[in-house]
Amino acid sequence: MFLRPNHRSKDGKEHTYWSLVETVRTADGPRQKTLCYLGELNSSAQARWLRTIEVFNERGETQQLKLFPSHVEAPPDDPQVVRVLLNKVRLERTRQFGACYLGLELWKRLELDHFFEQAVDDEPADVPWSRVAALLAINRLCAPDSELAIEQRWYPSTALDDLLAIEEGKINDTRLYRCLDRILPYKTKLERHLKQRYGELFGAEFDVLLYDLTSTYVEGAAEKNPMMRRGYSRDHRPDCEQMVIALIVNHEGFPFSYETFDGNRADVSTMETILRMVERKYGKARRIWVFDRGIVSEENLAAIRKRGGQYLVGTPRSQLKRFETELLKDDFQRVRPDVEVKQVPIPQGEETYILCRTSGRKEKEKAIRKRFSASMEDSLRRLEKSIKTGRLKDRYKMERRLGKIQARHPQVNDLYEMALRDTMEGVCLFWQMKEDRKTWRDAREGAYLLRTNLQAETAEALWSKYMQLTEAEASFRALKNELSIRPLFHQLEARVKAHVMVAFLGYALWVTLKHLLKRRPAILPKPTVSGVDNAQPLSPMRALALLSTLQSADIILPTMDGHEIRLRRITEPTAEQKSLLQQLGISLPDHLEFNRKCSVDSAIA
């Protein structure tokens, strides 16, 4: 192994970068394999030495040594020269660096380090609680796992001990659990802090609020947690007890607030609680609320109007029947190639209704209707056959089976006429599709209805504003998929709420990265066809995956006098990684500290 110089001309100056290489035999002959990059070592005008290394001995005394490659002859009388045994140079202690460093930079960008220092670092501790909180949030962003898995597997494999200045052996699951208990009381202050920072960093406004709910389940009985109840499971786990999470974001997906409810809480019953909570935290204001039909009720809309608020909401499908005449008219306005809308004002009313229909949704609902119709007709034919062949003779049982068929197919039940009739041969089943319902069936497929008390806005503007609700749905997808908020393993109510708070912190980092990538689009160079660039901007998870290959490691340089020089360095980023870091405004450190009492570089006897 030996040091190899690499020359490069930049800004009219010659620069020399050094790498540690070794010669290996291959099928094509001897080749040089790069072990690691050492960077620009000849930073001064002195031609005879490459880099001065500050070395500390066991007594803490400092000494300057000069490191020379094998082909350079050192000055014979220079006491600061050290000879390195290149054939014994080795690499130790590789750690994940890139994704963790990005997470920490996002943490600092939101000034969460200062927030938690003021909130929880009021008492001396082996590890400041603000740094433990950062560790939990960065884990939720980069590789979400349980506290036990963080201690045993994830944290020891990362460079967070260097980045957060945490001494070896100080992180364990008990300290992580205690940190959860400490940060939970600051939920409201945290939400206000993030709202302010998003306004400062991105000019985020919170006059339009998107509100939605989801659920997450717990592993275990959770007997000591009264919040955990069985209810409607959006995770398709009705066998598990669960809790309901309400999230409020703005139209760009920036988080405004969140709340937790009992697992059996109905969506429609949460609105009044949320309204009071928002007023308590942020005061009264003329806000615009956007939410879907699962939260709509006359009482909820009246509560918003009473507070001087405005709303734009979806409505139950049953409301479409009121506008059958308007739906059958061909006077819709096309606002997108596959979207048509029409404004339907109510005479002497404060509200406006917007009829919408999309071709994609129409095809989907048509396919669903055909599937349910085929299933229903098959069930009716089997019941009809059972009655005709005499296998089913009890009229009461016939009616029960017919009722079950209708209950299993509520999506198409109203399109059919079904009856049991007495004939000369006995009871027979009569059924057919209602001819007068075919036109209505075709018209309602792909259609949905919006309801609002907003004034002086076009149907297209109102539809576009309602479509912003997809940002709330995207937030839940990020929480459940990328940030893995489910399932919950905690059994105590306070710990469960703190777990949700850490997931909320992870989402705060995630959405910050998302908008940094959007504002400064990170484009990876890709092959082009006929000179056309087909590159795509990065998603947050792709950016994290790209930087995850950056590692930190210790380069061990054994010397002729029996010492070892340890250099903790970061692997050289690729061109794609450099481009991403530059666009995010992030600079990598030259080296990492590992002997904070002495130096960035150290010598071992």
Res. 550: pLDDT tops 80: yes
More confident: 192 or 484: 192
CB 452 within 8 A of CB 290: no
Q: Which alpha helices (H) appear in 143-215, and where do they start and end?
A: 147-149, 160-163, 173-183, 187-202
Res. 365: pLDDT tops 50: yes
More confident: 471 or 260: 260
Q: Which of 384, 374, 385 is nearest to 429 (CA)?
A: 384
Q: Which of 250, 248, 254, 247 is nearest to 201 (CA)?
A: 254
- Residue showing tokens 């997931």: 503
Distance CA 516, CA 521 (A): 8
198-223: average pLDDT: 91
Q: How many alpha carbons lie under 13 Å from residue 411 in its C-beta half-sphere? A: 13
Q: What pLDDT is recorded for position 470?
A: 86
Map out the domains of the chain as residue ranges: 2-95+550-604, 98-203+492-523
Q: How confident is the model at residue 188 (pLDDT cuts 50, 70, 90)?
A: very high
Distance CA 337, CA 403 (A): 42
Res. 520: pLDDT tops 80: no
The mean of the pLDDT values for the chain is: 84
Res. 562: pLDDT tops 90: no
Q: What Cα–Cα distance (Å) separates residue 467 from each residue in 292, 334, 460?
A: 10, 16, 11
Reduced to 3 states (helix: H, G, I; strand: E, B; else coil), residue 253 is coil
Q: What is the DSSP letter of 520?
A: S
Q: What pLDDT is recorded for position 443?
A: 83
More confident: 486 or 164: 164
Q: What pLDDT is recorded for position 129?
A: 96
Q: Which of 496, 513, 550 is nearest to 177 (CA)?
A: 496
CB within 8 Å of 67: residues ≥ 6 apart: 41, 49, 50, 51, 53, 82, 84, 557, 565
Distance CA 156, CA 100 (A): 12
- Residue showing tokens 């909130």: 119
pLDDT digits (tens, 9 = 90+) for 345-364: 777 678 889 999 999 988 99
Lowest-confidence region among 63-77, 278-292, 344-358, 421-435: 63-77
Q: Is the bond preceding 487 in cis, omega lying within 30 degrees of 0?
A: yes
Q: How confident is the model at residue 498 (pLDDT cuts 50, 70, 90)?
A: very high
Report CA 200 to chain centroid distance, whole Å: 22
Give the type of residue at 6: N
Vertex 340 angle, CA 339 and 343, to 5°: 135
Distance CA 565, CA 56 (A): 10
Give the type of residue at 448: Y
pLDDT digits (tens, 9 = 90+) for 112-154: 999 999 999 988 899 999 999 999 999 999 999 999 999 999 9
Q: What pLDDT is recorded for position 286?
A: 83
579-595: average pLDDT: 83
Q: What Cα–Cα distance (Å) separates residue 562 from each residue in 55, 85, 605?
A: 14, 10, 7
Q: What Cα–Cα distance (Å) separates residue 159 from each residue in 125, 153, 156, 591, 594?
A: 21, 13, 8, 12, 10
The DSSP result for 223-239, as a single string, is: TT-TT-B----TTS-TT
pLDDT digits (tens, 9 = 90+) for 14-42: 777 777 666 667 777 777 777 666 666 54
Q: What pLDDT is recorded for position 209?
A: 93
Q: Which residues pair with 429 in a beta bridge?
A: 420
- Residue showing tokens 């690729």: 574
Largest Cα–Cα separation, the chain? 125
CB within 8 Å of 346: residues ≥ 6 apart: 352, 353
Q: What pairing do the DSSP bridges indicate for beta strands 601-604 and 242-250?
A: unpaired
Q: What Cα–Cα distance (Å) separates residue 261 from each residue in 37, 194, 334, 335, 487?
A: 53, 22, 41, 38, 16
Q: What is the DSSP letter of 592?
A: -
Q: How far apart are the first and last CA of the chain?
A: 22
In this structure, how many other beta carbons lie within 10 angstroms of the beta carbon of residue 462? 21
CB 78 within 8 A of CB 68: no
Q: What Cα–Cα distance (Å) separates residue 410 from each residue in 321, 373, 375, 415, 416?
A: 16, 10, 12, 10, 11
Q: What is the DSSP letter of 559?
A: B
Res. 598: pLDDT tops 60: no
Q: What Cα–Cα distance (Å) separates residue 509 from each residue in 111, 406, 432, 449, 478?
A: 11, 49, 57, 35, 11
Q: What is the DSSP letter of 599?
A: B
